[in-house]
Structure 1
């Protein structure tokens, strides 16, 4: 059985559990990678988490909203089949409580940005991190529009980290994208039913 078929067969509870486990595995890889590759574990992480509000708003919040607006535009202008991920995101976010969408969005943004920007980009470079980020979203590999979309977002987030050296910026942008798209999936039925 293909991995994507296995994911489709999971019920909501199992999918949520697997999603949370996978994010904690990414955090463990981040910690392990930083121990292997960073000169000083705590100093390097401290230097990458900068709480500069202006930078966070300009390079994190605004790009997050830009990504979501472009995604929504494409969602409404392209045929639905191009954005069909096999119902995985629908299964993960539809009918979920708001607290779950916010929590999972924070966890995903934190774990993925720590690994891909914090460890991989810092150690192996912008291109490697951006391409690996897209490839980890394996369910999009046979969906050209979704693959190009996640690849462009990955390069954009990588660029934001490149110019700021600030994980708070990319975590913020990533969180905004995930939480707003999660809310869109969660609330679209209610809006359309009116």
Structure 2
């Protein structure tokens, strides 16, 4: 029997156009599942009830905060798209590959899954330990496709901080999940229908 030699493992960097659509979706769903599981387990280790974080509260304030933040982010993003050169907003074509040929229902499903999984981990678990500032730095860093340009990296940091702030303000993960969902959905639809024009 051959011995396993870790030195023989070679990692290969792939460009987004070298990954087929099926593998892209598998990667996306797998990373979101891992994100959710880590967040859920982390919450249990914090002796916090994960389901309690999703309670809406006595008033619909979380919806106002979620919709309001999403509207502000979309407005800023549209302004940035108008005045900032396209190459400064380049994410390597990842968002284009994810959204450009998807049906609307699939864009909505992807946006909802990403919002629930990422907010559970980052706002629910990580922010509890290190606060919204450091959580936002980590959140921006994991969105590595934006790190080549300071404008999208700065926007991701600011959006993350705002998501953390509305979570603190409302006391429910539903507010940042709603905002994250709307932002991703609208941006996905913009990419989807811009390509058809």
Decide: shared fold, TM above 0.5: yes
Larger Rg: 2
Structure 1 moving runs of 4+ over 3 Å:
5-8
Higher helix content, 1 or 2: 1
Question: How large is the RMSD of aligned CA atoms in angstroms?
Answer: 1.6
For residue 162 of structure 1, report the CA deviation from its aligned partner. 1.6
1:63-88 CA-partner distances (Å, limit 9, x unpaired): 11210111011111111111111111
Q: Is the 8 A contact 2:16 2:92 kept in 1?
A: no
Q: Which residue of 1 aligns with 2:32?
A: 23
- 1:168 corresponds to which of 159, 170, 174: 174
Does residue 1:132 correspond to 2:174, yes or no?
no
Question: Partners in 1 of 2:17 and 2:37 — Cα distance?
Answer: 26
For residue 47 of structure 1, report the CA deviation from its aligned partner. 3.0
- 1:157 corresponds to which of 157, 163, 167: 163
Q: Is the 8 A contact 1:8 1:86 kept in 2?
A: no
Unaligned runs of 5+ in 1: none
Give TM-score scaled by structure 2 length: 0.88
Secondary structure of 1:125's match?
Answer: helix
Give TM-score scaled by structure 1 length: 0.89
Unaligned runs of 5+ in 2: 1-10
Q: How many residues align?
A: 186
For residue 50 of structure 1, report the CA deviation from its aligned partner. 2.4
Shift of the 2–140 alpha-carbon distance from structure 1 to 2, 3 Å rule, reads farther
